[in-house]
Structure 1
Amino acid sequence: MILDIYKDSLEYSAKDWKTLIILGVISIFSFLLLPAFLITGYNYRVINTAVHGIINGRDPMPEFDGIIDMFIDGVKIVVVQIVYLLVPVVIFLIFALVASQLIGVASTAIMLIGSLIAFVALVISCLMSQMGICHMAYNDGALSKAFAISEIKEVIDEIGWFECIITYVGLIIITVVLSLVVTTIIGLIFTVFGLSGFALGVDASGIFALGALINILITTFIVGPYLSIFNSRSIGLLYTTQI
């Protein structure tokens, strides 16, 4: 099942290269916040398509239109993520406050225990957050459904906590590996060109600079958006395994 999700998502994310370029262009201006919400909103559309689809189905890529609605969806996603993230943060701060009132071994022990509990809470919060977003999408975008804790827990219980964690770990690994592979291949190609230039007595600094620029452009306009859609699609399909 997990491998089917990955296969579907990898193929799905490459369906529309025009959309990848658009997302890449928008990502350049993410520091202005509005574009960042648009990207998040588009990824929500990918999740929404996935939770109403099936693994290895023929779901189309969402259209990049309805900017206002996309922005609102992006804001909703960020709100959900922040609220869930507050749980482990508050837990850590409480233990840090208690530890600051102690000294020596007791302080260190409290911080270690607090860090462990906060980490476990972070893992649980991330799972609840992602499944909450999927649950919201499945229920016509109702924000309250993203915080329907008992319902979301039932979803995760049905899928299996172990399966959810393994799926997310796999997503992290695939994301890192694909990013490294692409950047490494491009880097090696231009390194070979550069070294060849040096061997011929040519100043190859421009070749290395061009390689670095191309690496940045491909990462920004293709790899980044591709992996973003891949992760969103995978999360949405994981949710469907309990339906």
Structure 2
Amino acid sequence: MILDIYKDALEYSAKDWMKLVVLGVICFFSFLFLPVFLITGYNYRVVDTAVHGIINGRDPLPEFDDLISMFVDGVKVVIVQIAYMIVPFIIFMIFALIAGQVDGTLSSVLMLIGCLITFVIFVVAELMIQMGICHMAYNDGAFSKAFAVSEIKEVIDEIGWFECIITLIGLIIITLVISVVVTALIGIIFTAFGISGAVLGADPSGIFVLGAFINSAVAMFIVGPYLSIFNSRSIGLLYTMQI
């Protein structure tokens, strides 16, 4: 089932390349801060489509319409992410403060224990974030449903904690592999052009600069948006496994 989710999400994310470019343009202006909420809002729409769909369905990519609504959804998603991550942050800070009051081996042991506990809680918080956003989307955007902890836990219990964690690990691996492979391929191509130019007596610096520019452009306007949609779609479909 997990492999079916990945397959669906990989194909779904490539349905409309122009929308990837539009999302990439929004990402380009994310340094202005406000566009960040449009990005998270669009990914929320992808999740919303997924939780109301089925694996290998014919769902289209969401449109870039009603930007105010998309912006508001993005704000809600960011609030959910921050709220859940406050818990592991506070726990880590407590252990750090306590460890700072003692010396030697005890300080190191306390920090090690703190890091382990923080990591476990971080994983739980991340699952709660992802399933919380899906639960909000499934319940017609009801913000309170993102914090309905008992309901969200029931969802994760029904899907299976192991399946959820494995799915998230798989998403991380796939994201890294695609990013590295695309970057490496473009780098190899332009390196080969640069070496060939140097052999022929030409200055290869311009080719290398062009290669770096194209690599950055592809990552910003295609690969980044593609992987963003891929991850959102996968999480949304994971949520449907308990319905």
TM range (shorter): over 0.9
Alignment correspondent of 2:110: 110
Alignment of 1:16-55 (within 5 A): 16-55=16-55
What is the CA-CA distance between 1:231 and the residue it aligns to?
0.2
Distance 2:133 2:100 in 1: 36
CA deviation vs aligned residue, 1:89-129 (integer Å, no higher than 9, x gap): 00001111111111111111111111100010000000011
Alignment correspondent of 1:196: 196
In structure 2, the residue corresponding to 1:241 is in which secondary structure? helix
In structure 1, the residue corresponding to 2:242 is in which secondary structure? coil
Unmatched 5+ stretches in structure 1: none
What is the CA-CA distance between 1:239 and the residue it aligns to?
0.2
What is the CA-CA distance between 1:187 and the residue it aligns to?
0.5
TM-score for both structures, normalised by structure 2: 0.99
Distance 1:107 1:185 in 2: 46
One-letter code aligned to 1:65:
D
Alignment correspondent of 2:133: 133
Distance 2:84 2:166 in 1: 20
What is the CA-CA distance between 1:68 and the residue it aligns to?
0.3
In structure 2, the residue corresponding to 1:140 is in which secondary structure? coil
Distance 2:221 2:26 in 1: 9
> Superposition RMSD on alpha carbons, in Å?
0.6
What is the CA-CA distance between 1:3 and the residue it aligns to?
0.3
Moved over 4 A (4+): none
Distance 1:123 1:52 in 2: 26
Q: Which shifted more, 97-106 or 67-76?
A: 97-106
What is the CA-CA distance between 1:48 and the residue it aligns to?
0.1
One-letter code aligned to 2:164:
C
Distance 1:34 1:67 in 2: 12
Distance 1:36 1:225 in 2: 13
One-letter code aligned to 2:65:
D
Distance 2:98 2:187 in 1: 49
What is the CA-CA distance between 1:217 and the residue it aligns to?
0.6
Question: What is the number of equivalent residue pairs in this alignment?
Answer: 243
What is the CA-CA distance between 1:177 and the residue it aligns to?
0.3
Distance 1:102 1:189 in 2: 55
